[in-house]
């Protein structure tokens, strides 16, 4: 079974989310930084209640480090939860700040499934922010194994765009007597990293535009798959049982195909359907993904751009 087709168990989800929440509760500076990052996502109409809920939660957290009655902490957590729920017309609240606070509250109330569900809601509401600033480690540990086809898709598209730039660089180096040996050794093998400044200087305006469009599409693709798999993880948790016999099949990875139709690019979403590649090579603009190059199974498939 391919890595990205593997099912994820409720215990795995709970383990990863509980680890993230525990670290957040144990590190005030980290918690305050995350809350500050999410602050801009608070609806202006409900800001006062949500801020009050955050302050109340901080009071409850502080009681865990001092001598205090459990009933006091419990009542404080209940008040914070009521403030959050009263500030939203939906349950759970559909804003990332409230979802984050609720995940901490549920964790402190020993409700691990609810804590995990509300934390995963962040990846549905703000996938880009969640994977890059709020919980990048959680994204790597829980989501990324399912998204290997997306990395390969990005690698193929990017390699196609850069190949013409590498050809231009090779041609230029052939006419440069002073640096011919050095440049030729760099360009003879496209797997060797070419200095970014030199490569960009040889890139045409259309190539730069294509590369920028690819990165935009890639981010959108990651966002969509974050939503898809956050929903899958929530379904796994909601259908978990003590017997562990309920298995939720992972969804298909959503892939994008860029086609030239009538001279214009059109984006299409396509489900991954047993596409195969013999020699996958992995690359990604995000630094924390680069280590995956050698971990990719050889049975992965991707949709190529067709021009």
Domain limits of the chain? 3-144, 148-228+250-295
Is residue 71 over pLDDT 90?
Answer: no
Least confident interval from 87-91, 235-239, 267-271: 267-271
Arithmetic mean of pLDDT, 18-42: 95
pTM metric for this prediction: 0.73
User: In this predicted model, what pLDDT tens digit does every residue of 83-126 receive, in sequence order?
Assistant: 999 877 767 778 899 999 999 999 999 999 999 999 999 999 99
Q: How confident is the model at residue 173 (pLDDT cuts 50, 70, 90)?
A: low
Rg of the chain on CA atoms, in Å: 24
Is residue 188 over pLDDT 80?
Answer: no
Q: Which residues contact 159 (CB under 8 A, 6 or more apart)?
A: 281, 283
Secondary structure of residue 261 in the 3-state scheme: strand
Is residue 286 over pLDDT 50?
Answer: no
Please count the other Cβ atoms lying within 10 Å of the Cβ belonging to residue 148. 24
Which of the pair, 191 or 241, is modelled with greater confidence? 241
Q: What phi and psi values does residue 142 have, to the nearest 5 degrees?
A: -105, -40
Is residue 279 over pLDDT 60?
Answer: no
Is residue 252 over pLDDT 80?
Answer: yes
């Amino acid at each position: 079974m391919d890595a990205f087709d593997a099912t994820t168990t409720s215990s795995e989800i709970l383990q990863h989310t509980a680890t993230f929440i525990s670290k957040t509760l144990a590190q005030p500076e980290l918690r305050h930084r995350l809350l500050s990052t999410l602050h801009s996502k608070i609806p202006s109409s409900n800001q006062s209640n949500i801020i009050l809920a955050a302050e109340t939660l901080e009071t409850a957290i502080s009681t865990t480090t001092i001598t205090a009655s459990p009933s006091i902490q419990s009542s404080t957590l209940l008040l914070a939860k009521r403030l959050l729920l009263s500030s939203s017309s939906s349950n759970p609240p559909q804003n990332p700040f409230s979802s984050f606070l609720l995940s901490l509250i549920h964790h402190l109330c020993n409700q691990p499934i609810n804590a995990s569900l509300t934390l995963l809601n962040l990846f549905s509401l703000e996938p880009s922010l969640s994977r890059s600033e709020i919980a990048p480690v959680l994204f790597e540990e829980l989501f990324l194994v399912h998204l290997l086809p997306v990395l390969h898709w990005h690698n193929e598209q990017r390699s196609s765009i850069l190949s013409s730039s590498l050809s231009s660089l090779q041609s230029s180096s052939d006419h440069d007597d002073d640096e011919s040996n050095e440049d030729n050794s760099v360009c003879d093998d496209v797997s060797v990293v070419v200095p970014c400044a030199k490569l960009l200087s040889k890139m045409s305006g259309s190539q730069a535009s294509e590369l920028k469009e690819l990165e935009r599409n890639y981010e959108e693709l990651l966002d969509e798959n974050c939503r898809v798999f956050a929903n899958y993880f929530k379904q796994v948790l909601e259908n978990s049982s003590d017997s562990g016999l309920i298995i939720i099949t992972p969804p298909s990875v959503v892939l994008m195909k860029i086609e030239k139709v009538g001279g214009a690019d059109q984006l299409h979403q396509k489900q991954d359907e047993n596409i195969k590649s013999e020699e996958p090579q992995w690359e990604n603009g995000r630094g924390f993904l680069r280590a995956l190059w050698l971990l990719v199974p050889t049975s992965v498939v991707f949709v190529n751009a067709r021009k």
